[in-house]
Chain A
Amino acid sequence: MRVRDPFEILAALNPVPRLSETSPQDDELLATIIAKAPSTTGKRRRRLWVTGGTAIAVVGLAAFAVFHQDSASSPLQLTCYTTAQQPQPEQFGIPMEGDPVKACEQLWRNGTIGDAEPPTLTACVNDRGIVAVIPGDQQVCDRLGFANWIGALTDDEGQMMAFADELAATFSEKCIIEPDATAAAQAVIDKYQLDGWTIVQQGGYTPQRACSLAGAVPEQHLVVIASRRGAP
């Protein structure tokens, strides 16, 4: 039996027109996106950490930075850079599975990146906390201002990273006033089922600094709360 081209059958099965719809929420989505400055929320969050600076918060931030040095805050993501430059004009995101260098080498070999054999590649942790495999030797991470990646996060490290991230986000995304701050921090601790953690309230609230920020110090099982600029 002779039949028509399978490609034509596939084309006739096209579900896309039915799936390509406008949504009543599109105007709202457009407004939401435009309302955001065209930069990453991660950068905004870090800025809040710095501007809210008190001595103890800086200690917390330093501990957090050390924790970040060679771990990735997005352990499920991997990005393969095409060149050793920052900002990166073109990169390929793939799920983190196994050895990141080998995963990116495969993209070079199958022609997804370039048309040649893969160059020497090194795994770094980029400024967004994502594992980035970059063409270059072991010094390439340092040259771009990134940390070298030394291995996958354990489950505990991943959970701790997620906890610290959520804690910071909880306090930076809205103004939590002093009387509510401890309960808000405790709620995040409870959500991650962390035992033996202590919350320290640093204070320093004024009418101009009526909101709170919070930082985790994983080594000491400590959450530090301090004031930051802003009003409810």
Chain B
Amino acid sequence: MASRLVDDRTERFSELFREFTPSVRGFVRTMVAASDVEPVVQATFETAWAKLEAIPLLSQRAWLFGVARNHVRNHVRAERRRAFLVDAIGAQRPGELTSCPRGCVDPVEIAPVLAALQHLSTEERELLQLVAWHEMEPAEVAVVLKISANNARVRIHRARKHLETLMQPELGEVDR
């Protein structure tokens, strides 16, 4: 019986690991240097292995992102995280930028976005990143940041407004 429980646990963890390792890796890479990604990924899944029963089934990815974020915050200062985020975007090749599934980017638009990201707070960047890149709903963002869903919704709105404000001098009025 005990052996069966162990097998079930191992199986559940293996599925979790296989399903979410790529997305956790992508999330971590936007916060740390490429050479630091794997230790954080490993630490994240070690935590998941230790706390498997505590992981909410409906928000496993968000829970893992929250753990990864904590591991990163323990090791990398905010200023460096900002640099890695910009580095991750900037490292894309022009070809990749124009084959974008969510609309193509005029090269003229890239520099202002990078500049605006530099001026956002760490939390604002995290919020926008989770919504824009990981396509998370406010409820999932709430799990990652350990805040209420309402709080997440308000903060996302404010962060978008701040991004618009920062980019207006460069790009003009926002077309909606």
Contacts and interface: CB of A to CB of B under 8 A. Distances in A.
16 contacts: A4-B174, A6-B116, A6-B163, A7-B131, A10-B132, A13-B100, A15-B88, A16-B26, A20-B22, A21-B26, A23-B25, A26-B21, A29-B45, A32-B42, A39-B50, A95-B77
Interface string A13-25: 1111111111101
B4 to A, nearest CB: 16
A11 B133 contact: yes
A94 interface: yes
A116 interface: no
A22 B21 contact: yes
Interface in B129-170: 131-134, 145-148, 151, 160, 163-164, 166-167
Given A1-B172, A3-B172, A3-B175, A9 B49 contact: no
Interface of A: 1-23, 25-26, 29-30, 32-34, 36, 38-40, 76-77, 90, 92-95, 97, 110-113, 115
Contacts of A13: 89, 92, 97, 100, 105, 110, 113
Given A5-B174, A95-B74, A115-B148, A16 B134 contact: yes
Contacts of A76: 74-75
A2 B176 CA distance: 9
A94 B113 CA distance: 27
A12 B146 contact: no
Contacts of A12: 97, 100, 102-105
